[in-house]
Structure formats: structure tokens, C-alpha cells
Amino acid sequence: MNLDPSHLEYPHRHDGYDHDLYPWSALKDRPPVRWPRGSVAIWLCVDLEYFPLTPSDTPFRAPGHMQTAYPDYRHYTAREYGTRIGFYRLLDAFAKVGVTASIACNSAIAERYPAIIADIVAAGHEIIAHSTDMNGTIASGLPEDDERALIATSLDTLERVSGTRPQGWLSIARSQSWNTPRLLREAGVRYACDWVNDELPYRFTNGLINLPLNHELSDRQIITVQQQSADSYAQSIRDAFDWLAAEGSREGGGRMLPLNLTPYIMGLPYRIDAFEALLRDLAGRAEAWFASGGQIVDAWDAQQ
């Protein structure tokens, strides 16, 4: 039986990707990037999230959402621990070493707990939009108007409460639809953090900048999924820093080390000491530059 020739026709079969959102590029082939100081930009990004007691599951249930029969007070209050206690331990840890972080914030936090937003602003940290609440997930199949409204609500609410419109966006679970890059750009977002295929920023064809937030280096992945201790997490981050610093020295150009943090995970009393020790160690390294996402994007963009 002969195969119909149409089965061999694939419109996206070409060099690079099966999409035209951005071109393929190997790090070794790009001009080196220089940071304002040091060779490794350390980006602290905290997920500050509000979990509704009832998951909507549209289009999917967010990681960390309610798990047992309704009402799931155990997980609901465990997540709430992050806003009541864990987040403030992280703020204290940042203040002790004088570093700046990005806070990826659900807009429901701004609506329900405006005092937290005031504390973030007073401490000089950057706010990144992180959807509306943990029911505000995005994936293909979500109606475009619903996604547009979700993005607008998140940005508008955070701007109203904080006084500054976020320039960055982090989707829940780093999940996007086919429409998301366009809708983010239309909403005035400068950079997004969802695509994890690099260790430096890069630009989409529509002008949106991607700032890769490595999931494998997150506390959720190392501590919760891999079931490692806080000490093991800290050693993993030190190992990553040492490798990036040596690689940058050997090959030339800056590198980036993103630390994605979860208040109800890292803010627990038996973990925060190891995290504070890690920050003190890294802050003492000559190669380290602690910076917010916006500062990293600014430094990178100025050299393109």
C-alpha cells in the first residue's frame, strides 16, 4: 500500500523549533554578557500565592493546591502559613544580607492582605505578576478573552495596591497557552519567566523578553519532590554557583543563578537557618551579584 504523500508534509519541519516564537540559539555562540558587578547574577524569586479553599481545575489544578476531601483545611492552612509566617522569615533573611528579591505575587494577595504589599514595597523588592490566585491557571483551551481578563486583573490590581505596574510575569506552574506571549506583550509586560530552556535572558520575536526561572533549582523541586533536606538544597545551590562562576571565568561572560522560593516550604523553622547561611555564604562571594528580575533584564537588554 502506498503512503499518501500528504503524510510526509509537515509545515514546521525546518531548522530550529516547531514554532516561530523565538529563534534557536546556543549560549556559546552569543556575545558575552557583563553584569554591573560579579559574574553570577543571583535572582531570588519568591512565589507569594493565595490558594482558594475550592480548586476550580480550569484548565488544570495548580501544583500545591488542595488535595483531600473538601474542606481541605490541612493544606489550606499549610499554604496560609506562608503568608502569615514563612514569607516574613524570607524578608528578614534578605534584609540581613542586604539583597533585593523579586516577589511573584498573586493579585489576591494584594486584595486580601495589602499590608504584605506595603511591606514588600518598603523593603525595596520588585513585584512580579503571578496571576490572580492559584485558580488562575493558563493553558491552551482557556478562552482568549478569559486569559486576557486574567492578565489584566492581575496587573491592574497589583498596580493599584503597590503603586507600580509590574513589568514581569510568572504563570502558575510556568504554564502558557499559544496566546500568552502575545497577550502579555499587548498588556505591556516587558518580561516573562515561564520558559526554562536557558540560563540568560533572550527575546521573543514579538519583543517579549524571557527570563528563565530554572525549576530544577527551586525549593519545591529539591525539597518537596526530591525529598532532600534544607542542607542538601543549600549544597546544591552552592554547587551550581561554583560551576557557573568557573564556567563564566573560563568561557567569558556572566551567568545567572535563579532561586525560586516558596514561603510555606523554605520558611519553616527547621529550614530557614540553612537558607540564611546559604545567603551569607553567597553574599560573601566576589563573583555574586544579587539582583531582581527587572535589574537583570535591564543589564542584559542594555548590551543587546
Can you spell out the DSSP letters for the chain?
Answer: -PPPGGGG--TT-SSS-SSSSS----GGGSPPP--SSSSEEEEEEEEE----SS---SS-PPTT---SSSS-HHHHHHHHHIIIIIHHHHHHHHHHHT---EEEE-HHHHHH-HHHHHHHHHTT-EEEE--SSTT----TTS-HHHHHHHHHHHHHHHHHHHSS---EE--GGG---TTHHHHHHHTT--EE----S-SS-EE-TTSPEE----GGGSHIIIIIIS---HHHHHHHHHHHHHHHHHHHHHH-S-EEEEEEE-HHHHTSTTTHHHHHHHHHHHHT-TTEEE--HHHHHHHHHTT-
Residue 30 inside a domain? The answer is: no
Q: pTM of the prediction?
A: 0.94
User: Is residue 19 a part of any domain in this protein?
Assistant: no
pLDDT digits (tens, 9 = 90+) for 142-194: 999 999 999 999 999 999 999 999 999 999 999 999 999 999 999 999 999 99
CATH number of the domain encompassing residue 279: 3.20.20.370
How many distinct structural domains can be found in the chain?
Answer: 1
User: What are the contacts of 274-280 at 24+ separation with CB within 8 A?
Assistant: 274/229, 274/230, 274/231, 274/233, 274/234, 275/90, 275/93, 275/230, 275/233, 275/234, 276/93, 276/96, 277/234, 278/234, 278/237, 278/238, 279/93, 279/94, 279/96, 279/97, 279/99, 280/96, 280/97
pLDDT at 8: 67
Look at residue 78 and tell me if it is in a domain: yes
CA distances from 132 to 109, 119, 148 (A): 9, 20, 12
Residue pair 263/46 in contact by the 8 Å Cβ criterion: yes
Determine, yes or no, domain membership for 230: yes
Which pLDDT belongs to residue 292?
Answer: 98
d(CA 219, CA 262): 7
Please indicate, yes or no, if residue 110 is contained in any of the structural domains: yes
pLDDT along the chain (304 residues), means of 10: 70 72 91 96 98 93 91 94 97 98 98 98 98 96 96 98 98 95 98 96 97 95 96 98 95 95 98 98 97 98 96
Residue range of the domain that includes 146: 35-301
* The pLDDT of residue 11: 66
Q: According to the model, what pLDDT value does residue 20 have?
A: 87
